């Protein structure tokens, strides 16, 4: 079945440093979504990417969708303590298939 892997599994960064998590799917995706889950909380939608090579920005967050639509990345510039949490990508494999497969997640901790 479809597998979605993320690296790294854990990332500890000094506040102010940048952070990147990478998402790789075993199959071509129709779209990819990113979610953030704070410790003890539930996942919250961040963004959806649909087009090959698409890049979207939300303030300090930059999201990319690979040309082959099999990988994606999330980059955070100048991390803040509020960025703490686990970031999941979630991919939809085929049009008409409503199921999202979640990535393994990257847990970000910030050292003040």
Q: Which parts of this chain interact with another protein (CB under 8 A)?
A: 1, 33, 35, 41-45, 48, 88, 90, 98-105, 107
Are the CB atoms for 91 and 48 separated by under 8 Å? no
CB of 83 to another protein, least distance (A): 18
77 or 107: CB nearest another protein: 107
24 or 101: CB nearest another protein: 101
CB of 41 to another protein, least distance (A): 8
């Amino acid at each position: 079945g479809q597998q979605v892997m993320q690296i790294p599994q854990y990332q500890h960064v000094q506040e102010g440093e940048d952070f990147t998590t990478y998402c790789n799917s075993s199959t071509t995706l129709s779209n990819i979504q990113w979610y953030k889950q704070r410790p003890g909380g539930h996942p919250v939608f961040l963004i959806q990417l649909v087009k090959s090579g698409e890049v979207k920005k939300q303030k300090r967050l930059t999201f990319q969708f690979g040309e082959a639509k099999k990988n994606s990345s999330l980059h955070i510039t100048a991390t803040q303590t509020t960025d703490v949490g686990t970031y999941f990508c979630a991919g939809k494999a085929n049009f008409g298939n409503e199921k999202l497969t979640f990535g393994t997640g990257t847990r970000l901790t910030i050292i003040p």
